[in-house]
Amino acid sequence: MFSDIPMKGDDDAMPHYLNTLRIAGCAVLLGLMLASCSQKPESRTTPPSEDTTVPSSAQAATDEPVSSPSTITLIEDEPSESPASSPTGETIAEPSPSSAGVGAANASPDLKKPAEEEGRSFSSSDPELAAIRLSETEASVTKKLGLPAESFTLPGDKTSTEMWEYDGITVGFGHDHRIVYVEVTSSEIATGIQGLQLGTTAKKAAHALGLDVPQRSNVLTAEIAGGSLKLDLDPDSRTVISIKLIADA
């Protein structure tokens, strides 16, 4: 190439040489451009993106608005002064000290142990025990005491007796369904005879029936219209342990 450079003074060859340089320069430039285009671009490794696809069920759940838990303030109610209520909704009035005293004074005698002073004086012509008289009917007893807790038949020499047992009292009926036997078996049952209860001493019981005090016997018997009133005494304590109203056979 240097051999083609025109020497000084060769004016005719200079334009030709310059053209040759231009052509050569363009060729070199074109070759560089082609070489740059033929090179593959540097590949970049893109990190895999996180899968943000939400499953359909989760997507449905996220579609609903999420409510933040609200703060619940517990306020303790102050005790009210309103009257208490029963399970049925009825208002229960609290008893005052004065009303409690009146209620105790007016309590039914049936709810407490009867006193010996209660009842009427003993009458042999019109006897009764626990408000029940001899010869009363089954219907009369049922009206007063209701149906018995237990009943059984007590056989006898000539006739049997139908026994009705209640809480603290036993009633017996003859063949005609009328009372032939009454017995008080609990001190919680009022005898209806003034001065006489289970547990009464023999002396007081005899006085209530108008009898002499027995000295050696453990039985007190008072004759009555249509039968007898019989009292059994405890041999040790000498107190009444049973009271029976028995019709004549």
Q: What is the pLDDT of residue 156?
A: 86
Residue 103 falls inside a structural domain: no
Q: Is residue 45 part of a domain?
A: no
Q: What b/e string do you get for 105-134 counting C-beta neighbours within 10 Å, with b at 16 or more?
A: eeeeeeeeebebeebeebeeeebbbbebeb
| 169 falls within a domain | yes
26 located within any domain: no
pLDDT of 13 reads 60
Number of domains in the chain: 1
Domain boundaries, position 240: 115-247
* Within a domain: 62: no
Nearest to 109 by CA among 127, 123, 130: 130
Classify residue 150: in a domain, yes or no: yes
Please indicate, yes or no, if residue 129 is contained in any of the structural domains: yes
Contact 94, 84 (CB under 8 A): yes
Count other C-beta atoms under 10 Å from residue 243's C-beta. 24
Torsional class of 143: left (φ above 0), alpha (ψ -120 to 50), beta (otherwise): alpha
Residue 59 backbone class (left: φ over 0; alpha: ψ -120 to 50; beta: rest)? alpha
Does 68 reside within a domain? no
- Assign residue 231 the CATH number of its domain: 3.40.33.10
Residue 229 zone, left/alpha/beta (φ > 0; ψ -120 to 50; rest): beta
pLDDT tens-digit profile, the chain (249 residues): 445 555 555 556 666 667 777 787 777 777 777 776 665 555 455 555 555 454 444 444 444 444 444 444 444 445 444 444 444 444 444 444 333 333 333 333 343 455 555 678 999 999 999 999 999 999 999 999 999 999 999 998 888 999 999 999 999 999 999 999 999 999 999 999 999 999 999 999 999 999 998 888 999 999 999 999 999 999 999 999 999 999 998
d(CA 182, CA 169) in angstroms, rounded, equals: 7
